[in-house]
Structures are given as structure tokens and as C-alpha cells.
Amino acid sequence: MSDPFIGEIRTVGFNFAPYGWAQCAGQVMAISQNQALFALLGTSFGGNGATNFALPDLQGRSAVGTGSGVNLAPINLGQKDGTENVTLTVNSLPEHNHTLANLTGTTTTAVAIPVATTGTGVTTPANNTILGPATAAGRPVDIYSTVASTTTLSSFNATGTAAITSSGSSIGFTGHGQPIAIRNPYVGLTMIIALQGVYPSHG
């Protein structure tokens, strides 16, 4: 391969690093044996900076340019970020609601009408009066029947207390919470970095 710059990274279609190159796999290198490369990389990709430093790890990763792109977050040399999958949370969802259908049903309420079989009758209903026996000319009046009803009286409002039991209502669950793959389409190639070559000068 033509003389590269020390620290230059290339992509090749074979699965090994040629002489004078190393795969970009995050290996820890001895400073004493790679002083020129360490002078360029420093500890941007790892290492203790005293006896060793690390090469970039591009295994399964994409390289992006450093700096601050328009409307993009700034990227520093050696910075790692990103994930292959993401799991949505409630905060990731747009604001929305769920409709719960109206609950309908029928109920039967028993109304007990108090009556008295004895007592002094009055002709005008009033508070605290109830139905009682009726008489005419000293004789009881037949106002009750033992046959089936043939009509109904006008409806009326009954005031009372009713106990209502409910087991509650809920909207059924859906979804499984599986992570979403967000990795771009890709093809695997070998990323290599030059250990030897021309030391680059600042332009």
C-alpha cells in the first residue's frame, strides 16, 4: 500500500491488517513501540497515557465527522454514542387519549309503599301520612283487588338510598414492549489504521 499518514484509517475488503497496519478494534498499544502514533492519537480512544494508549474501535460502528454540524449535537474526537435498538417510553409517545365506551345496563329497584291497616283516616294527603283503611257510612270500602293489574298509575319519583356494586372497567392491554431496531442498512468491511508511514504536519 502507498505510504499513508501515520494514524490514517482505511477500509478494505479483506479480513486482516497488512504489515504496518492494525485493525481498528480498540487494542491497547505500548507507547514505547508506537511513539509517533501515540503523539497523534493520545488517549482519545482509551489507555492510561503513561505506558499505553488504545486504537479506535470501529467494530460494528460507523465513523462520523467531529465538530458541530448545523442543528446537530457536537461530536468530539474519540466520542462513542448510539445504540442498535431503542425501547419507546411514555415520554416518547405523542399526546393522545383512549376512548372508553359508555357503560349501559338495566336495573330493577324495589319500592316498598308503607300502608296501615288501622288508624284514623284523613281525606287530604300530607306529610307523614300513609295509605290506610277507607270507610264509607261506617263500612270498609273495597279499594283493593285480587286480580291481575289492568293499567298503571302515573309515574312518580321515589327517594331513597341504593347500593351499587361495580367491579371497575379498564381498557385492554396491547403491544409487547419490544425494542425497535434503528441501525442503518450496512455491509461489513475491515477498518485498518496505519502504524507506520508519513508523520502528518499541520496545514
pLDDT given for residue 128 in this prediction: 75
Torsion sign (Cα): 61, 64, 69, 74: positive
CB-based burial label for 37 (10 Å; 0-12, 13-18, 19+): buried
pLDDT given for residue 25 in this prediction: 98
Nearest to 63 by CA among 48, 78, 74, 83: 78
DSSP 136: E
DSSP 183: P
Q: What is the mean pLDDT of each run of 10 residues along the chain (203 residues)?
A: 91 97 98 98 98 98 95 96 92 84 70 76 75 74 76 72 65 83 94 97 87
Return all residues near 68 (Cβ < 8 A) that are at least 6 apart.
74, 75
Tell me the fold of 1-63+186-203: 3.90.1340
Return all residues near 71 (Cβ < 8 A) that are at least 6 apart.
none
